[in-house]
Amino acid sequence: MNSTTPASDVAALMTEMGRAARIASAHMAKASAAKKNKALKVLAALLRSHVDALKPANELDLARARHAGMAAPLVDRLRLDQKTLETCAQGCEQLAAMGDVIGEISGMIQQPSGIRVGQMRVPIGVFGMVFESRPNVTIEAASLAIKSGNACILRGGSEAIESNRALAALVQQALTAADLPPEAVQLVATTDRAAVGALITMPAFVDVVIPRGGKGLIERISSEAKVPVIKHLDGNCHTFVDDSADMAMAVRLADNAKTQKYSPCNATESLLVTVAAAPDFLPAIAAIYAEKGVEMRCCPQALKWVSGAAGAVVTAAVDEDWYAEYLAPIISIKVVSDVDAAIAHINTYSSHHTDAIVTSNHVHAQRFLREVDSASVMVNTSTRFADGFEYGLGAEIGISTDKFHARGPVGVLGLTSLKYVVLGQGEIRA
């Protein structure tokens, strides 16, 4: 199918996939940990043994992308080489090595009536995923679905369609080898955009949709979806340097949080520093930023402390800068009176993704953790650590900037739900 497929055919295709996913999800929900782990290990082996076999499909995508004039960094993300596939295989093996959370019962407490009430962790059911043109995401999503006992329907970027088809075939082969239903992981084979519209409006078959990609895509899916969405909007992350901060540590962290990599959502985009810390801290960090070519957009007070750095590109910040997610060698810098002003600024301008304080003051650290309303709040470390792998989740399917259901990096647990389990001995309600 392609973009000229009649809409009714796309709707019928998606309904059929939805129905198959729902049936598969019931099998996955009761599958043993052994079967799920076997599927993951077989998949890892298949990825390693198919490095060459996957090349033709991937070459088709790469050639089409180059022909269409896709920028080199984007073409690179399409590439399925031995290194990418090895990383995917290791991810599957890490998940297989983790304990199974499905079926775990917690909090079983006897109530006055005599019944015992606890909660059992169960899969969500079926998740849909709409993602950018990175074929490795197909494996990440599939492996998380398998481990969490869910079924999933994957819709990757059309630029990666050949690679995704080849990878999805390996996933289904691994599922079959483990005596699990291959329909547990289905790839939408059409590149027709109507498929996305159908996927996000089938509450009977899809329990949650996870979009990954640009802000425009995520906003469109959120506004049109008829099922819950785990969404990640922007990452305007802050690092705040308090009066009592260890200055060498503050400089090291502000450097790493901004310059270790410019494109990730967890890079620091805005630096706050107290009036008292500014004279020591700002000239030191400004020298590093100047050397690395990071433009500094400053409040009037910050301006005077950073302008002395040799080669510094310094401009006056405007209000939009405090909201901005640059994803580039640019940082906004503001001098604040104290920790209260920093918390107030962050809660006003932050995108509630990740914010860090550098301090030696215990009370300030505790207040920052409690009062900053963000998915990740940090003390004395780099915002760049906000990541499912660094948090020990094994893998992440996305990062949620919402407060509902899952917040922050979403791993296996974010794809589960808790149901109540009640054990009685014939008790009745009076």
Question: Segment near a copy of itself (CB under 8 A), from 186-194, 272-280, 297-305, 413-421?
Answer: 413-421
| 103 lines the binding site for a copy of itself (CB under 8 A) | yes
| 35 lines the binding site for a copy of itself (CB under 8 A) | no
| 260 lines the binding site for a copy of itself (CB under 8 A) | yes
Binding residue (CB under 8 A) for a copy of itself from 173, 301, 347, 361? 347
Torsion of CA 319, 325, 330, 336, to 10 degrees: 50
254 SS3 class: helix
Residue 381 CB, shortest distance to a copy of itself, in Å, is 3
Question: Segment near a copy of itself (CB under 8 A), from 42-50, 107-115, 273-281, 284-292?
Answer: 107-115
User: Cα(310)–Cα(312) distance, rounded to whole angstroms?
Assistant: 6
Torsion of CA 355, 360, 362, 368, to 10 degrees: -20
Which of 158, 201 has the CB closer to a copy of itself?
201
Which residues 268-307 are close enough to bind a copy of itself by CB under 8 A? Answer: none
Residue 16 CB, shortest distance to a copy of itself, in Å, is 19
User: Cα(266)–Cα(260) distance, rounded to whole angstroms?
Assistant: 11
Name 145's Cβ contacts closer than 8 Å, sequence gap at least 6: 28, 127, 151, 152, 184, 185, 415
Binding residue (CB under 8 A) for a copy of itself from 235, 398, 408, 411? 408
| 341 lines the binding site for a copy of itself (CB under 8 A) | no
| 369 lines the binding site for a copy of itself (CB under 8 A) | yes
Binding residue (CB under 8 A) for a copy of itself from 148, 236, 376, 401? 376
Question: Segment near a copy of itself (CB under 8 A), from 86-94, 116-124, 309-317, 332-340?
Answer: 116-124
DSSP string over 6-71 = -HHHHHHHHHHHHHHHHHHHHHHHH--HHHHHHHHHHHHHHHHHTTTTTHHHHHHHHHHHHHTT--
Residue 245 CB, shortest distance to a copy of itself, in Å, is 10
146 SS3 class: helix
Residues forming a β-bridge with 297 = 315, 332
Element (H, E) at 248: helix 247-259
Instruction: Tell me the two tokens of residue 55.
Output: 């090349």
User: Cα(100)–Cα(96) distance, rounded to whole angstroms?
Assistant: 9
User: Cα(295)–Cα(314) distance, rounded to whole angstroms?
Assistant: 6
Residue 40 CB, shortest distance to a copy of itself, in Å, is 21
Question: Do the bridges between strand 268-274 and strand 330-336 make them parallel or antiparallel, or are there none, so unpaired?
Answer: parallel
**Which of the 8 DSSP states describes residue 227?**
S
Which of 83, 226 has the CB closer to a copy of itself?
226
Residue 111 CB, shortest distance to a copy of itself, in Å, is 5
Instruction: Tell me the two tokens of residue 283.
Output: 């000239």
| 235 lines the binding site for a copy of itself (CB under 8 A) | no
Count of residues interacting with a copy of itself (CB under 8 A)? 66
Encoded one letter per residue, x for contact with a copy of itself by CB under 8 A and - for no contact, window 191-210 reads: ----------------xx--
| 378 lines the binding site for a copy of itself (CB under 8 A) | yes
203 SS3 class: coil
Which of 261, 304 has the CB closer to a copy of itself?
261
| 23 lines the binding site for a copy of itself (CB under 8 A) | no
Which spans of this chain sit near a copy of itself (rule: CB under 8 A)? 26, 29-30, 103, 109, 111, 113, 115, 117, 120, 122, 124-125, 207-208, 223, 226, 228, 246, 249, 252-253, 255-256, 260, 347, 356, 369-371, 373-382, 384-386, 390-392, 402-405, 407-409, 417-429
